[in-house]
Amino acid sequence: MKAEILSTGNEILSGSVTDTNSSWLAVKLLETGIRITRQTCTGDETEGIATAIKEISNRADIVLVTGGLGPTIDDVTAKAAALAAGDKLDLNQKALLSIKAYFEQKSRHMPEINRKQANLPLKSVTMENSCGTAPGFHMEIGKALFFFMPGVPFEMKKMFKTGVVPEIEKRFGVQNQLFSESFTVFGLPEAEVGTRLRGFHEKFSGFRLGFRAAFPLIEVKFSCQGMNTADEKAENAMKQAGQWIFSRLDKRVVSLQGLLMEQEVGRLLSLSKATIAVAESCTGGLIANMLTDVPGSSDYFLLSAVTYSNRAKIEVLGVNQDTIIKNGAVHRETAREMAEGARRIAKADYGISTSGVAGPGGGSDDKPVGTVCIGVAGPGFSKGKQYYFPFIERGMNKKIFAVTALELLRRELIMTL
């Protein structure tokens, strides 16, 4: 079975936006056992899209198309689909009702401009969009079955699950299941992860092994194709492969479930029934933001004080003024007192803190950009550590500082369990 992806949009073609939809779709389709053989991206021109559709319809069995279903004049994918199929556009009543229902649910009247989104090829079958105005549709063109989805990632993802996958299974049957697991790893460069896992394919033939850098974590993904959806042999092989990989990465593995650092820390805090308070300087709220991205985090997250100024460190967190005068703000002892202060004022079980130089400015010979001091305080202990990371970009530094602070907390938490 040959499957292709066609993404449309001047913003992708011109490079203003990186196309993340295509990689997401390739991964998800592979999970159902179907491999993508080509990806194409065209701009928002009817002729250009129609030409691409026609070419692909001669090659592929399944085609996933994203983008160009919006209400504005540069959204021309439905028109292009009709042109390529020798079909014509017509007002689709079902699509119109669904758009109207979307607005009604928001207690708004449908603007006239959105009516255009219900103009779909006559031969097409609509797919519901429960979180946006653009209805999707599928139709046969040439020898291929085309699925047209909106370009907005969360609308597309929802529609892929509720509209596309069931239709593929209905038409082509359930493919052999892909057994797949991923570990998240922190503290090793990607090349080193690769070196440590050399020999995997010789030992586990038929397996796929992949690495994905989700800075500063690395996701190690391994998979094998089972014979059917409940294949004991494949499950056993997966278990052995997982153990082999774990034995080589050991303490660097953050999560055997592929969780992000903040998800794993949240899971451990919940398990320990412990609470956390944060004092952030250079990470500027990123740690709090990461922790509170996890649903249910209000059970354990009490406070983060983002104290950029020394005065706030002293007055809000109760850091000793002499500590800062003597050592400066970026220092192990300052970080330790910040963590203690956050823990104390929030009456939390644990406190963590960051104070460092994220850049691009603010570095010195002594404390160059990339330097961070991290404090951890818990029941009966507190400590401060200094690290240096060789990045120059502010966003990368904030990220690796935040994840390092959470990693120090994670190590404390697993020792108590």
Residue 340 in contact with its own copies, rule: CB under 8 A: no
Query: How many Cβ atoms sit within 10 Å of the Cβ of residue 271?
Result: 12
**Is the CB of residue 275 less than 8 Å from the CB of residue 300?**
yes
x-marked contacts with its own copies along 367-386 as a string, rule CB under 8 A = --------------------
Size of the site for its own copies (CB under 8 A): 104
Write the single-letter amino acid at 170.
K
350 forms part of the interface with its own copies (CB under 8 A):
no
Element (H, E) at 39: strand 36-42
Smallest separation (angstroms) from its own copies to the CB of 177: 15
- Asked whether the beta carbons of 136 and 127 are under 8 A apart, the reply is yes
Nearer to its own copies, 43 or 242 (CB): 43
Q: What's the CA gap between 185 and 194, in Å, rounded?
A: 12
CA-based angle 28:30:197, to the nearest 5?
105
The interface mask with its own copies, positions 43-82, x = CB under 8 A, is xx---x---x--x--------------xxxxx--------
How many Cα atoms within 13 Å fall on the side-chain side of residue 241?
28
Among positions 328, 332, 394, 408, the unique one binding its own copies when judged by CB under 8 A: 394
Q: Which of residues 121-180 bind its own copies (CB under 8 A)?
A: 131, 133, 152, 154
Q: Which of 136, 359, 375, 378 binds its own copies (CB under 8 A)?
A: 359
Q: How many residues in total does the chain contain? A: 417
Residues 6+ apart with CB under 8 A from 223: 178, 179, 180, 181, 207, 208
Q: Which two tokens stand for residue 335?
A: 């970080």
Residue with smaller CB distance to its own copies, 212 or 267: 212
Check residue 318 for interaction with its own copies (CB under 8 A).
no
Q: Which is nearer to its own copies, 16 or 247 (CB)?
A: 16
Quick one: which of 144, 398, 400, 403 contacts its own copies (CB under 8 A)? 398
Site string for its own copies, 1-40 (x = CB under 8 A): ---------xxxxxxxxxxx-xxxxxxx-x----xxxxxx
Tokens of 174: 């359930």
Tokens encoding 192: 């080193």
Q: Does position 201 bind its own copies by CB under 8 A?
A: yes
Q: Footprint of its own copies on residues 282-311 (CB under 8 A)?
A: 284-289, 291-293, 295-298, 301-309, 311
Q: How far is the CB of 298 from its own copies (least distance, A)?
A: 5
CB 269, min distance to its own copies, A:
13
The answer to the question of residue 90 lying near its own copies (CB under 8 A) is: no
DSSP letters, 166-188, are: HHHHHHH-PPPPEEEEEEEEESS
Residue whose CB is less far from its own copies, 10 or 125: 10
- Please choose, from the candidates 169, 406, 96, the residue with its C-alpha nearest in 3D space to the C-alpha of residue 276: 406
Which one, 37 or 236, has the nearer CB to its own copies? 37
- The residue among 109 and 170 lying less far from its own copies, judged by its C-beta, is 109
Q: Which is nearer to its own copies, 212 or 383 (CB)?
A: 212
Give 191-212 as a DSSP string: HHHHHHTTTHHHHSTT-EEEEE
Q: Which stretch binds its own copies (CB under 8 A): 83-91, 165-173, 203-211, 375-383?
A: 203-211
Q: Which of 109, 170, 198, 273 binds its own copies (CB under 8 A)?
A: 198
Q: Is the peptide bond before 368 cis (omega within 30 degrees of 0)?
A: no
Among positive and negative, which fits the CA dihedral 53, 59, 64, 66? negative
Binding span for its own copies by CB under 8 A among 140-148, 162-170, 211-219, 331-339: 211-219
Helices of type H across 107-163:
153-159
Cβ atoms of 225 and 212 closer than 8 Å: no
Q: State the DSSP code for 227.
A: S
**The tokens of 337 are what?**
């007192």
Q: Is the dihedral angle over the CA atoms 336, 337, 340, 342 positive or is it negative?
A: negative
Chosen residue from 139, 238, 278, 339 binding its own copies by CB under 8 A = 278
Instruction: Decide: is 188 part of the binding site for its own copies (CB under 8 A).
Output: no
* Residues between 214 and 273 with contacts to its own copies, criterion CB under 8 A: 221
State which of residues 104, 140, 235, 393 lies at the interface with its own copies (CB under 8 A): 393
Binding flag, residue 321, its own copies (CB under 8 A): no
